[in-house]
Amino acid sequence: MRGTVEAVAFWVLAAAAVGAGVAVFVVDSMARATFALLASFLCVGGELLLIDLHYLGVLIVLMMIMEMLVMAVFMVMYMMNPAGLMPMTMLHNRRGALAISGGAFAALAAGVFTVPWPEREGRPPRDPTVALGEAIMGPKMLVMMVIGVAILATMIATVVLSAHRGRYDRDRDGGEAAR
């Protein structure tokens, strides 16, 4: 029963990811395109969660939510049309883009059906996330994890130190404190 539910969820998420990806180029505003792209990435994150790549799935979901929200905020701040909601076209050089994308799709589809795919050897790893980390970084995985935390701490410290005034640099009346 569980395998059937997972298979149905996989195909539903796959169709939703493709549909949202197509919507990126069909909708008529940057804001809608941004949220369609977010929906597509969330579906891909869900796919990774279904195939037991929990770390990568959560990472994609969290990264894409933050990235798309930051993009939406900058769109509202800097675009000429308010909030990116005014109608516009996302397609330029339609014939060229159609020819290139159709050729790329045909080449990739031909590759899927003509390449002799190898058979699986052995069993899947108990923890695919650890296996992926070891395959990518080898024995340096612990070092890279520590460096990641150090980089995060550096970014937080940089933001804190670069602020002109801190949270407590005001007097009790709400005005600025005397310098």
Tell me the residue range of the domain where 1 lies: 1-90
* Within a domain: 110: no
- State which of 39, 72, 90 marks the end of a domain: 90
Per-residue pLDDT of the chain (179 residues; tens, 9 = 90+): 678 898 899 999 999 999 999 998 888 777 788 889 999 999 999 999 998 888 888 889 999 888 888 887 777 777 766 655 666 665 678 889 889 999 999 999 999 999 998 888 888 888 888 888 788 888 787 788 888 899 989 988 888 887 666 556 655 555 555 55
pTM: 0.56
- Answer whether residue 97 is part of any domain: no
Q: Are 68 and 7 contained in the same domain?
A: yes
Tell me if 161 sits within 8 A of 153, measured CB to CB: no
**Whether residues 6 and 82 fall in one domain:** yes
Q: Do residues 148 and 70 both lie within one domain?
A: no
Looking at 90, 108, 140, which one is the last position of a domain? 90
**Same domain, yes or no: 82 and 130:** no
Instruction: Establish if 176 belongs to a structural domain.
Output: no
